[in-house]
């Protein structure tokens, strides 16, 4: 029986398993729960099982076991209702490269039952939103890599799905287009669309997503709010560009310091210190800082730590 609570969940995955015909166990019983309206990141190294999980949800891959519900609709008993809720942007380009941009999106509208004036309005709306309207009569083959990605997003949105799944949507896309895609995704999420994103750009997940799950070797090794996950990081390393050269790294209470060249100072901050302490101590030593940056992406650091600790556990 579908409860109101279930209906609130955009995606509910229970004990999902997948073993391919070659014996590869891609998913070993994962559980995931994505609330309606969430912006959810699914991270993991290559071959971790992300694309398999997304393939099962979008019914492109047969599952071996477990249960998947999309807005309360089981993919086993109400597949068509579940499919109607989903828009999918796959990792690899799967466009008919000889079809025109306009026809690709219009055909997708038709596959979801949209026709006539409504279909035309939606096609124009999303091609304009993704800045492809001027290319509507060109064949997909003539588009650049970034444009093909944007076309796949327009195609996935034309039926205005409640759940949008993007499998590495910004892979191979230049920074400017990536940033504009982020802005676009933020807007549609704010308008109510639940978004699940897999990405290799951890900065992307940190910037966009409110929840994060990390999958490795077919199991979920972390599933929490982004803020809670980032809070787990005990230490952060900053790189300070100095106005003047230093001959040796200064000793600072509560911080580890190391010189990187004559004008760059690396500072590791412990959990009990804050950056105000750092600047007070630097001012006292007459060391002027011209700029500051985070050495490593925090999420990337956590990701590596989690994956490595799991590998160590496996070795023991």
Give the strand pairing for 289-294 and 236-242: antiparallel
Of 29, 81, 249, 287, the one binding other proteins (CB under 8 A) is: 81
72 lines the binding site for other proteins (CB under 8 A): no
Under DSSP, is residue 15 helix (H, G, I), strand (E, B) or coil?
strand
Query: Alpha helices, DSSP H only, in the chain?
Result: 4-8, 50-57, 79-84, 101-111, 116-129, 145-157, 175-190, 202-208, 226-231, 275-284, 298-315
Alpha-carbon span 151 to 137, nearest angstrom: 13
From 39-47, 50-58, 197-205, 256-264, span contacting other proteins (CB under 8 A): 50-58
Smallest distance, Å, CB 3 to other proteins?
23
92 lines the binding site for other proteins (CB under 8 A): yes
62 lines the binding site for other proteins (CB under 8 A): yes
Give the strand pairing for 264-269 and 236-242: antiparallel
Of 10, 30, 42, 58, the one binding other proteins (CB under 8 A) is: 58
Q: How far is CA 298 from CA 175, 186, 275, in A?
A: 20, 21, 16
112 lines the binding site for other proteins (CB under 8 A): yes
Sequence-ordered list of residues with C-beta below 8 angstroms from that of 19, at least 6 positions apart, any chain: 25, 26, 64
Residues β-bridged to residue 215: 220
Of 53, 86, 202, 265, the one binding other proteins (CB under 8 A) is: 86
Residue 157 or 202 with smaller CB distance to other proteins = 157
Contact map string, positions 233 to 262, toward other proteins, x by CB under 8 A: ------------------------------
141 lines the binding site for other proteins (CB under 8 A): no
Contact criterion met (CB below 8 Å) for 162 and 8: no
Q: What region does 254 belong to: left with phi over 0, alpha with psi -120 to 50, or beta?
A: left
Of 25, 61, 162, 297, the one binding other proteins (CB under 8 A) is: 61
Residue 48 or 86 with smaller CB distance to other proteins = 86
49 lines the binding site for other proteins (CB under 8 A): no
177 lines the binding site for other proteins (CB under 8 A): no
108 lines the binding site for other proteins (CB under 8 A): yes
Of 103, 180, 207, 219, the one binding other proteins (CB under 8 A) is: 103
96 lines the binding site for other proteins (CB under 8 A): yes
Alpha-carbon span 315 to 302, nearest angstrom: 20
């Amino acid at each position: 029986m579908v409860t109101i609570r279930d209906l609130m969940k955009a995606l509910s995955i229970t004990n999902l398993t997948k073993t391919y015909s070659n014996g590869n166990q891609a998913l070993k019983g994962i559980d995931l729960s994505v609330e309606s309206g969430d912006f959810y990141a699914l991270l993991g190294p290559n071959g971790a099982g992300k694309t398999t999980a997304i393939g099962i949800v979008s019914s492109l891959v047969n599952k071996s076991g477990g249960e998947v519900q999309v807005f309360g609709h089981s993919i086993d008993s109400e597949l068509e209702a579940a499919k109607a809720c989903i828009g999918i942007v796959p990792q690899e380009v799967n466009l008919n490269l000889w079809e025109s941009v306009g026809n690709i999106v219009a055909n997708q509208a038709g596959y979801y039952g949209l026709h006539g004036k409504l279909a035309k309005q939606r096609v124009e709306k999303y091609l304009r939103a993704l800045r492809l309207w001027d290319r509507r009569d060109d064949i997909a083959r003539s588009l650049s890599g970034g444009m093909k990605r944007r076309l796949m997003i327009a195609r996935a949105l034309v039926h205005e799905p409640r759940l949008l799944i993007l499998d590495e949507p910004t892979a191979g896309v230049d920074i400017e287009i990536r940033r504009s895609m982020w802005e676009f995704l933020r807007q549609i999420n704010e308008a109510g669309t639940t978004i699940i994103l897999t990405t290799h750009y951890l900065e992307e997940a940190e910037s966009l997503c409110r929840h994060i799950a990390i999958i490795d070797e077919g199991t979920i090794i972390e599933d929490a709010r982004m803020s809670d996950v980032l809070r787990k990081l005990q230490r952060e390393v900053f790189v300070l560009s100095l106005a003047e050269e230093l001959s040796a790294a200064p000793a600072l209470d509560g911080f580890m310091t190391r010189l990187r060249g004559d004008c760059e100072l690396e500072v590791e901050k412990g959990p009990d210190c804050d950056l105000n302490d750092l600047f007070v101590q630097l001012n006292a030593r007459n060391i002027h800082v011209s700029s500051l940056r985070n050495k490593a992406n925090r999420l990337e650091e956590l990701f590596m730590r989690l994956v490595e600790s799991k590998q160590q556990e496996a070795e023991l």
